[in-house]
Chain A
């Protein structure tokens, strides 16, 4: 099972859960698993085109990833971490 980690700011959408085990061997399958469990986060992570929001960062393991290749395979030990950009006031 891969792990998705979400930022604290999304607590109102997640009920305070910041880590979730997801199934699937690809990015797409992992995201589908995440959104099936936490549908309210979709509007916050992705814009109307389905792309990762501009000021949201995603790391797949240690690599920054804009999630453009949804068919990319991931290991069962993969950690997908969404991070709030350090910007704003």
Chain B
């Protein structure tokens, strides 16, 4: 099994079995997202604090070419980072910062804005979270598409992306006083997952805690039984086992594992309860965390986590046992299984 690892300082390939590492690709650049075109080419979101962001494409993960006609707001605004890719049918969606979606129907060669979202009626009220104003999560099922935007919330489109509605009922807004009227936006979703076989069953790691929806995000209910804290960035579902994974952090003001005990937590009952995910975790204090993009799953028992400290943790039995290859990397922001 090979992992592609996107870090603050380049991208790397890790052979999990042998521990061999190749890279960096894009030396000196942040590698912020990985994806695939419908035809199977690799995509990488690459960025720089000095030189802006772009998408690169490769047939083999070795030779890369920058896409010249990449996503852009033109003169209307800056596109500062590529956050995620989502491929379905013949199209690829990318979520970016400043927050918005772009779609390509030609293998990533050209991109057009999803204007129903990018020019949403609430757009003037969108504000950034700690990671910026970014569209970081995309899900699709049936006729619906969901996008998670920080610190704005979850939106759903039921008409192929033409129109979008905020879907955050039941989730507190960290930007609003508790007794104030609920705003349309201002919800800091960190990650979303769903069951592809029943796509309206959803789970959400939010700034405000962990939530589940049974109705496609129309309403959310808190599900934190067994978690040491509700804060975190990860929500991942292994579809074969149905298990959910998250990595709790102390709080929004103290974004490290509680007591330095770095662990993934698993739910085997769709979020009703949570417990430490299996065995293999280090007993040494570990105050690193896992960012929302640094999670990869093959949907068949393998889940990988990349930490802000540059470690990778892998399970190949749906969370029963975990191990960490010895290689250590710069701060990890993106991960994918090849």
B136 at the interface (CB under 8 A from A): no
B54 within 8 A of A: yes
Which of B70-78, B166-174, B176-184, B285-293 touches A? B70-78
Secondary structure at chain B's binding surface: helix, strand, loop or mixed? loop
Residues of B in contact with A, size category = 20 to 34
Q: Report yes or no: B68 in contact with A44, Cβ–Cβ below 8 A.
A: no
Task: Tell me the residues in window 53-75 of chain B with beta carbons closer than 8 Å to chain A beta carbons.
Answer: 53-54, 56, 64, 66, 68, 70, 72-75
Checking B51, B70, B75 against A48 with a beta-carbon cut-off of 8 angstroms, the contacting residue is B75
Roughly how many angstroms separate A55 CA and B47 CA in the complex, as a whole number? 14
Q: Which residues of chain B have C-beta atoms less than 8 A from A45's C-beta?
A: 51
Question: Which B residues are CB-close (under 8 A) to A39?
Answer: 68
B66 and A55 contacting across the interface, CB-CB below 8 Å = no
Pair A13/B54 contact, Cβ less than 8 Å: yes
Residue of B nearest to A39 (CB): B68
A87 at interface (Cβ–Cβ under 8 A)?
yes
Q: Does A75 contact B (CB under 8 A)?
A: no
Given contacts A13-B66, A39-B68, contact A53 B50 (CB under 8 A): yes
Among A2-60, those with CB < 8 Å from B are 9-10, 12-13, 39-40, 43-45, 47-50, 53, 55-56
Question: Does B133 sit at the interface, judged by CB under 8 A?
Answer: no
Q: What total count of A-B pairs have CB within 8 Å? A: 53
Question: What is the minimal beta-carbon distance from A10 to any residue of chain B, in angstroms?
Answer: 7
State the CA gap A43–B47 with chains docked (Å).
11
Question: Does A43 contact B75, Cβ atoms closer than 8 Å?
Answer: no
Instruction: List residues of chain B with CB within 8 A of the CB of A49.
Output: 75
Let me know if B73 and A48 touch, CB within 8 A. yes
B77 with A48: CB separation less than 8 A: yes
A73 at the B interface (CB under 8 A) = no
Q: Does B26 sit at the interface, judged by CB under 8 A? A: yes
CA distance A54 to B188 in the complex (A): 29
Docked complex: B22-56 residues within 8 A CB-CB of A? 26, 28-29, 46, 48-54, 56
